[in-house]
A = this chain, B = another copy of it.
């Protein structure tokens, strides 16, 4: 069975990597799909976000494909012939927004099921937003993201120092 794990991944965290590792052990094929999401004005470009995800794995993981998409999630899922969408759920506020989106998706395409996974409790507090806040104040994020992400932040901030 083929599943899609969509997200903005701005940037990828150890929480995302945990979901990828666990779900790729269940599904035959896993498509990690980076949403363009220009409306959210991501910190990293779409190309950078895909690249950081790729470099987060030392060895290519068999059965895992990393790619980006610009259309509606259900349209992308249909194109990729994936019947399952995976989402991580951390907290009540996640839960509500995810439910709204999953129900709207279901109305638009009833053939695709959304499955929710819990993060490992070690990563339950991790959020890309929190990580960006910490690094903007000079904090150390090495416990939260792979080394490549930490370096990518450094390069960005060397080029354009935060105000």
Q: Which of A50-58, A60-68, A92-100, A147-155 contacts B (4 or more CB under 8 A)?
A: A92-100
- Contact call A71/B137, Cβ cutoff below 8 A: yes
- Contact call A121/B118, Cβ cutoff below 8 A: no
**In the bound complex, what is the Cα–Cα distance between A83 and B28 (angstroms)?**
13
Given contacts A71-B138, A104-B130, A113-B117, 16 further A-B contacts (CB under 8 A): A25-B83, A26-B83, A39-B133, A39-B136, A75-B138, A89-B95, A90-B100, A91-B96, A91-B100, A93-B96, A100-B130, A108-B139, A108-B140, A108-B143, A114-B117, A116-B116
Contact residue range for chain A? 35 or more
Name the B residues within 8 Å of A115 (CB-CB).
115-117
- Contact call A122/B122, Cβ cutoff below 8 A: yes
- Contact call A104/B72, Cβ cutoff below 8 A: no
A20 on the interface (CB 8 Å rule)?
Answer: no
- Contact call A22/B113, Cβ cutoff below 8 A: yes
Pick from B74, B106, B120, B163: contact of A38, CB below 8 A. B163
Name the B residues within 8 Å of A90 (CB-CB).
100
Name the B residues within 8 Å of A101 (CB-CB).
130
- Contact call B118/A102, Cβ cutoff below 8 A: yes
Name the B residues within 8 Å of A130 (CB-CB).
100-101, 104
The residue on B at minimum CB distance from A114 is B118
**In the bound complex, what is the Cα–Cα distance between A122 and B124 (angstroms)?**
10
* Chain A contacts with B in 6-34, Cβ cutoff 8 A: 22-23, 25-26
